[in-house]
């Protein structure tokens, strides 16, 4: 049986691919074992994953190489956290916002919206934070139950399409209302954000397993809380972790995850980037 295209693109590296040879379904395991016996190698191409097999090598290791286009403490932080938690091999490419790198033709070829992040994958470039998280979960995480899948989808899209989109209006109010209307607009958005966090507080209390380390929901939630404290510069503080104890507990627990702190350290976010930024 011919291999699926995704398997043909895989590359053997010295860094183990999470879950390699453990918990795979029998048909996929059989295909991987068959590939191991082919002793076929392919050249490595930039930003693409290739396959390299060795004779007599029966314990195959897989790894994916991703390229994360990022700016410090931007939405790319959410993707960096997800990549680190999954132990995935990736490199980073800085998008210099001061130099407007996001408007350069090379970047627009990856993401025509000119926004950050972009994740280059073996299957092509991905943009939109929620889409990247969903793709990573589908590609690398164990399949959730039907009920958990429903919850994952609705709350991931809530974080992306509602909470994140509204919070962005606080950062860039000038894109939404005239200057003289910004104070009133800020007040209205803050009220809506409190409503969103109140909904999330209830959800976390009722289904804490969905918001544990390793979930694609957790980095998104923790980063949104971080930004609500810090940005925009000069705003009247409006977000207090104490108002949302269940969410605060998630943020505190996330700082005990080594992978999360590796991502935070890479961007210089300090020792308590989510619970007390």
Q: Give the pLDDT confidence of 21-37 residue by residue, as tens digits.
A: 344 444 444 443 443 43
Please write down the HEC assignment for all residues of the chain: CCCCHHHHCCECCCCCCCCCCCCCCHHHHHHHHHHHCCCCECCCCCCCCCCECCCCCCCCCCECEEEEEECCCCCHHHHHHHHHHCCCEEEEEECCCCCCHHHCHHHHHHCCCCCCCEEEECCEEEECHHHHHHHHHHHHCCCCCHHHHHHHHHHHHHHHHHHHHHHHHHHCHHHCCCHHHHHHHHHHHHHHHHHHHHHHHHHHHHCHHHHCCCCCHHHHHHHHHHHHHHCCCCCCCCCCHHHCHHHHHHHHHHCCCHHHHHHHHHCCCCCCCCCCC
- Check whether domain 146-266 has CATH 3.10.20.880, yes or no: no
What is the pTM (predicted TM-score) of this model? 0.77
pLDDT exceeds 80 at position 94: yes
Write the pLDDT tens digit of every residue in 149-201. 999 999 999 999 999 999 999 999 999 999 999 999 999 999 999 999 999 99
Class in CATH terms, 65-140 = alpha beta
pLDDT exceeds 50 at position 18: no
Give the pLDDT band of residue 64 (cuts 50, 70, 90).
low
Domain ranges for the chain, please list them: 1-63, 65-140, 146-266
């Amino acid at each position: 049986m011919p291999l699926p295209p995704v398997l043909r693109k895989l590359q053997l590296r010295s860094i183990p691919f999470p879950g390699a040879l453990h918990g795979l379904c029998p048909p996929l395991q059989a295909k991987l074992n068959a590939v191991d016996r082919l002793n076929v190698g392919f050249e490595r191409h930039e930003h693409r994953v290739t396959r390299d097999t060795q004779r007599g090598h029966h314990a195959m290791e897989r790894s994916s190489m991703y390229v994360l286009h990022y700016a410090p403490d931007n939405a790319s932080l959410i993707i960096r956290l997800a990549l680190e938690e999954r132990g995935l091999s990736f490199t980073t490419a800085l998008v210099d916002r001061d130099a407007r790198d996001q408007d350069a033709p090379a970047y627009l070829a990856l993401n025509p919206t000119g926004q950050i992040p972009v994740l280059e994958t073996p299957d092509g470039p991905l943009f939109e934070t929620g889409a990247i998280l969903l793709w990573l979960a589908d590609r690398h995480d164990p399949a959730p139950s039907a009920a958990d899948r429903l919850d994952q989808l609705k709350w991931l899209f809530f974080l992306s399409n509602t909470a994140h989109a509204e919070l962005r209006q606080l950062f860039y109010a000038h894109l939404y209302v005239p200057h003289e209307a910004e104070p009133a607009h800020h007040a209205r958005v803050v009220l809506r954000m409190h409503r969103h966090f109140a909904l999330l507080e209830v959800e976390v209390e009722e289904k804490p397993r969905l918001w544990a380390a390793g979930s694609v929901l957790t980095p998104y939630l923790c980063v949104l809380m971080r930004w609500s404290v810090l940005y925009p510069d000069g705003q009247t503080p409006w977000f207090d972790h104490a108002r949302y104890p269940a969410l605060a507990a998630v943020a505190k627990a996330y700082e005990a995850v080594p992978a999360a702190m590796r991502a935070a350290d890479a961007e210089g976010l300090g020792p308590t980037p989510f619970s007390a930024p």
